[in-house]
């Protein structure tokens, strides 16, 4: 038994890839690094590349939010950002290509970056597939249908050959899909946005994107506090630096330091930060990482100076294609 989360899209607001010229420059500096590190032969390339992290070479990805949660028996998709297109390609190698798939898509909210891939999710166009959409917002059905309507998209919703069903969720009430239980909790976002606490009964994944994290104390989190408690893996919005967060109050996005504060207090084991700004190239995300490391170390030192012990929190910045196995946390 295992619970795994795969990140197909981790960018926020708008898909954004580096300019080709930037990629060429990056490749040139990688070649310099190869030769500077003493390598001379093509036979050394594999070992050199293995010593590089995926984002240090490939960056963090262009696609907007789409997350796949898999248990032993059940697949859940959260949000239909442009990342759902690559997930769709993978799924079309399986039962979805034959119209034999039952698919569950949970939506957090309806900002474009979380919906824009839906018309490109190929299982919609195969007769026999059953696609279930879930959200707390009662406008779920009408807002998904808009994505499949002229003049925005050539195939109107009524012409989709698959069977699409809409389910409105009750706030903070659990629903069961296969062997997974999902409970929606409200995040801090200008248009209502609902995160999900997902468990297979053993491990817990907490999906907290998009959020500004304006409610940080337990008291202010109120009924939404369970979203952050007894969590193995928390996915958290870290679009901004702390100064940017102050400048962009009410924009609905947060900073890694806010996520770490919550994680320390609630003993979250592992945090994955995402919703990277469309303007943030990999150097900008590296800078966010180093600020996060500084803050983490400062919190640890301050705790030690006060004779307190903080729980260890593992954290990383998400890149497209990242898989986290909750059994290994």
> Taking a C-beta distance cutoff of 8 angstroms, is the pair 105, 80 a contact?
yes
> Which residue is nearest to Zn ion, using beta carbons?
111
- 188 makes contact with Zn ion (CB under 5 A): no
**Binding segment toward Zn ion, per CB under 5 A, in 119-127, 202-210, 239-247, 285-293:** 202-210
**x/- letters, 209..248, toward Zn ion (CB under 5 A):** -x--------------------------------------
Quote the least distance from Cβ 107 to Zn ion, whole Å: 11
Spatial CB neighbours of 149, under 8 Å, sequence gap ≥ 6: 156, 157
Q: Give residues 1-20 in contact with Zn ion (rule: CB under 5 A).
A: 12
Pairing of strands 175-177, 270-274: unpaired
Residue from 6, 85, 111, 276 binding Zn ion (CB under 5 A) = 111
Quote the least distance from Cβ 8 to Zn ion, whole Å: 14
Quote the least distance from Cβ 263 to Zn ion, whole Å: 21
Quote the least distance from Cβ 146 to Zn ion, whole Å: 16
**Binding segment toward Zn ion, per CB under 5 A, in 26-34, 36-44, 169-177, 207-215:** 207-215
* Cβ proximity to Zn ion, 235 vs 296, nearer residue: 235
The pairs formed by 287-295 with CB atoms below 8 angstroms and a separation of 24 or more are 287/241, 288/238, 288/241, 288/256, 288/317, 289/317, 291/241, 291/242, 291/256, 291/257, 292/238, 292/256, 292/257, 292/260, 292/317, 295/256, 295/257, 295/260
Spatial CB neighbours of 235, under 8 Å, sequence gap ≥ 6: 5, 7, 67, 205, 206, 207, 208, 209, 271, 272, 274, 318
Edge-to-edge strands of the sheet including 175-177?
A: 175-177, 180-186, 194-199, 204-208, 233-237, 270-274, 314-317
Quote the least distance from Cβ 248 to Zn ion, whole Å: 13
* Cβ proximity to Zn ion, 26 vs 237, nearer residue: 237
> Taking a C-beta distance cutoff of 8 angstroms, is the pair 180, 199 a contact?
yes
* Cβ proximity to Zn ion, 111 vs 270, nearer residue: 111
* Cβ proximity to Zn ion, 113 vs 200, nearer residue: 113
Quote the least distance from Cβ 79 to Zn ion, whole Å: 8
- 113 makes contact with Zn ion (CB under 5 A): yes
Binding site for Zn ion (CB under 5 A): 12, 111, 113, 210
């Amino acid at each position: 038994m295992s619970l795994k989360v795969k990140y197909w899209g981790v960018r926020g607001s708008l898909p954004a890839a580096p300019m080709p010229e930037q990629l060429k420059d990056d490749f040139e500096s990688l070649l310099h690094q190869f030769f500077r590190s003493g390598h001379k032969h093509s036979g050394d390339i594999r070992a050199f590349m293995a010593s590089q992290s995926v984002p240090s070479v490939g960056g963090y990805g262009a696609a907007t939010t789409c997350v796949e949660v898999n248990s032993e028996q059940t697949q859940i998709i959260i949000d239909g950002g442009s990342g759902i297109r690559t997930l769709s390609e993978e799924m079309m190698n399986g039962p979805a290509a034959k119209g034999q798939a039952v698919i569950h898509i949970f939506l957090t909210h309806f900002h474009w970056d979380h919906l824009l891939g839906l018309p490109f999710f190929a299982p919609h166009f195969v007769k026999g597939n059953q696609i279930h959409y879930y959200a707390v917002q009662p406008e779920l059905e009408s807002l998904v249908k808009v994505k499949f309507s002229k003049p925005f998209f050539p195939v109107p919703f009524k012409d989709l050959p698959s069977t699409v069903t809409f389910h409105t969720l009750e706030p903070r009430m659990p629903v069961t899909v296969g062997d997974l239980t999902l409970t929606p909790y409200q995040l801090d976002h200008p248009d209502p946005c609902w995160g999900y606490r997902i468990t297979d009964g053993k491990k817990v994944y907490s999906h907290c994107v998009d959020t500004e994290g304006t409610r940080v104390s337990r008291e202010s989190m109120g009924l939404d506090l369970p979203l952050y408690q007894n969590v193995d893996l928390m996915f958290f919005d870290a679009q901004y630096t702390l100064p940017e967060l102050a400048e962009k109050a009410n924009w609905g996005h947060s900073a890694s330091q806010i996520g770490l504060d919550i994680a320390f207090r609630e003993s979250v084991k592992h945090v994955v930060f995402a919703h990277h700004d469309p303007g943030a190239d990999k150097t900008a995300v590296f800078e966010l990482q180093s600020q996060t490391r500084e803050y983490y170390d400062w919190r640890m030192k301050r705790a030690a100076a006060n004779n307190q012990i903080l729980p260890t929190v593992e954290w990383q910045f998400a890149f497209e294609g990242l898989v986290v196995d909750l059994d290994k946390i």
